[in-house]
Amino acid sequence: MIALLTRDLRLAVRAGGGFGLGLAFFLIVVVLVPFGVGPESGLLSKIAPGVLWLGALLACLLSLDRILALDWEDGSLDLLATAPLPMEAIVSIKALAHWITTGLPLVLAAPVFGLLLNLPDAGYVPLVISLLIGTPALSVIGTFGAALTVGLKRGGLLLSLLVLPLYVPTLIFGAEMARRAIEGMEATTPLLMLAGITCGTIALLPFASAAVLRVNLR
Amino acid sequence: MGSIWEYANPKKFIATTDRLLPWVSALALVALVGGLIWGFFFTPDDYKQGSTVKIIYLHVPSALMAINAWMMMLVASLIWIVRRHHVSALAARAAAPIGAVMTLIALITGAIWGQPMWGTWWEWDPRLTSFLILFLFYLGYMALWAAIENDDTAADLTSILCLVGSVFAILSRYAVNFWNQGLHQGSSVMRAGAMMGDTEERVSNVYAVPLFVCIAGFILLFIALVFLRTQTEIRARRMRALLARERMN
């Protein structure tokens, strides 16, 4: 398992793209927002947590098809399927690798990008916490979507159509937590709900992803 | 009479639905025409809402069917996963566009109703929002069916998507509830207390009776359409098989 994880991580870093691309995309989204809504700092600081969450979500989405597509094309996914490792473990590792290469950098970069959007001081810690807790769910759900569309030639658009509705609860609770914390309201309820979604998806969704992948490899 | 599993045989399914279809369609037509005419022309205007209240005869039944169609797809998907009866996978596929259209009708009639009543076409109200999300789920489901060439693979993948999607649809419903308080009223048609004769907080009988006729009409319409579309799917698949065999010779 660890060998697979290090292999995926190494591939992601060395093949280029995976690591930097998500971050660059996140940066561009954050830069484009003020052009769209105007440079007024009050407005920006109001929408900052939502924009940061959306940017992270879209950056995650962008890199989803890389989770499985490359391994599918060169046949290493077939090899992995015949390996003694159960399919559930393989998809979990894939999701973890995706999170380490995409989710974690986003979490770490979010405070810096928060500066650009004039995020209120009270927002930094809650935002980072909510992203830290929420992004693993994004990776796990995304792996399910990637497994669904792995056999398709032009699956990219379909992948977004399938995955984005599944992201709704995570986005709502994540952004809500940051927003409530900024406004000085109680934020533990959305935080707990977010943690619940993440734990639930990590525990259950790999089974669905593995089932789907088995069908696709048939 | 055997069990319902006999209808997993496509031939038997087609034979039975062929016999049922005229009856179901006729009943649906009668209930819909009767219920809508009754509702539109023979009920009084509401003292607050005027005649706009009458859109309820389209709005409530379609919203109900939008959810029920997804439930039916869920059951059909489960049957496909567990027992692998092709008819049930095809029935789920047949139900999806109908459910999507029902969702769309509910959203559009809701907007038309909301404009005079709430003064807005659209509001990010929990009920409205979750219906929009439901519509997105329908779109994704249908797109996945359309994208995959192999029928069995498509059936497998879409049924798993339907299961996962159901869980997330329910999650979204509660998340959205938490996220914003809404304008939309709660259910006032079928409330436990209302059934016991407490008429304070529910739709008055003058409106409720034609409404139930309309709901029955929508349910029958849905059944008729699912029968018809499933038959079409079965026949289309049969035709493809025959054509493929032709080419082999």
Q: What is the distance between the alpha carbons of residues B102 and B71, in angstroms, rounded to a whole number?
A: 13
Q: What is the pLDDT of residue A144?
A: 92
Residue B5 within any structural domain of the chain: no
| For range A161-182, the mean pLDDT | 89
User: Roughly what angle, to the nearest 10 degrees, separates helices B151-179 and B56-83?
Assistant: 130
- Between B48 and A4, residue with greater pLDDT: A4
- Nearest by CB to A168, which of B143, B164, B172? B172
Q: What is the pLDDT of residue B194?
A: 41
Q: Into how many domains does chain B fold?
A: 1
CB neighbours of B131 closer than 8 A, spacing ≥ 6? B63, B66, B103, B106, B107, B110
**Residue A115 near chain B (CB below 8 Å):** no
In this structure, what are the phi and psi dihedrals at residue A120, rounded to the nearest 5 degrees? -60, 150
pLDDT of residue A138 exceeding 60, the answer is: yes
Residue B35 within any structural domain of the chain: yes
Q: CB–CB of B227/B17 below 8 Å?
A: yes
Q: Which residue of A has its CA nearest to B157?
A: A212
Q: What is the pLDDT of residue B141?
A: 92
Q: Which residue of A has its CA nearest to B170?
A: A169
Q: CB–CB of A67/A149 below 8 Å?
A: no
Residue numbers in chain B where pLDDT is lower than 50 = 1, 191-200
| For range A199-216, the mean pLDDT | 91
Residue B248 within any structural domain of the chain: no
% residues pLDDT > 90 (chain A): 19
Question: pLDDT tens across A92-129, in order?
Answer: 988 998 898 888 888 988 888 888 888 888 888 889 99
Find the CATH number of the domain harbouring B20. 1.20.120
Q: How many beta carbons lie within 10 A of that of residue B105, not counting itself?
A: 18
Residues of B in contact with A218 (CB under 8 A): 153
Cross-chain residue pair A148–B175, CB shorter than 8 Å? no
Cross-chain residue pair A193–B156, CB shorter than 8 Å? no
What does R_g of chain A's alpha carbons equal in angstroms? Answer: 18
Residue B199 within any structural domain of the chain: yes
Q: CB–CB of A4/A80 below 8 Å?
A: yes
Cross-chain residue pair B147–A172, CB shorter than 8 Å? no
Q: Mapped to the 3 state alphabet, what secondary structure does chain B carry? A: CCCHHHHHCHHHHHHHHHHHHHHHHHHHHHHHHHHHHHHHHCCCCECCCEHHHHHHHHHHHHHHHHHHHHHHHHHHHHHHHHHCCHHHHHHHHHHHHHHHHHHHHHHHHHHHHHHHHHCCCCCCCHHHHHHHHHHHHHHHHHHHHHHCCCHHHHHHHHHHHHHHHHHHHHHHHHHHHHHCCCCCCCCCCCCHHHHCCCCCCCCCHHHHHHHHHHHHHHHHHHHHHHHHHHHHHHHHHHHHHHHHHHHHC
Burial class of residue B165 (count of CB atoms within 10 Å of its CB; 0-12, 13-18, 19+):
buried
Cross-chain residue pair B139–A155, CB shorter than 8 Å? no
**Residue A125 near chain B (CB below 8 Å):** no
Question: pLDDT tens across B211-222, in order?
Answer: 888 889 999 999
Distances (CA, A) of A197 to A56, A141, A171: 17, 10, 11
Cross-chain residue pair A169–B139, CB shorter than 8 Å? no
Cross-chain residue pair A165–B144, CB shorter than 8 Å? no
| For range A161-184, the mean pLDDT | 88
Q: CB–CB of B109/B62 below 8 Å?
A: yes
Average pLDDT, chain A: 86
**Residue A216 near chain B (CB below 8 Å):** yes
Tokens of B104: 């769309």
Residue numbers of the domain that contains B22: 16-181+191-243
| For range A43-55, the mean pLDDT | 88
Domain ranges of chain A: 2-217
Q: How many beta carbons lie within 10 A of that of residue A122, not counting itself?
A: 13
Find the range with the poorest average confidence among A12-16, A32-36, A138-142, B28-32: A12-16
pLDDT of residue A26 exceeding 60, the answer is: yes
Q: What is the pLDDT of residue B174?
A: 83
Residue pointed to by tokens 């579309």: B229
Q: What is the pLDDT of residue A166?
A: 92
**Residue A152 near chain B (CB below 8 Å):** yes
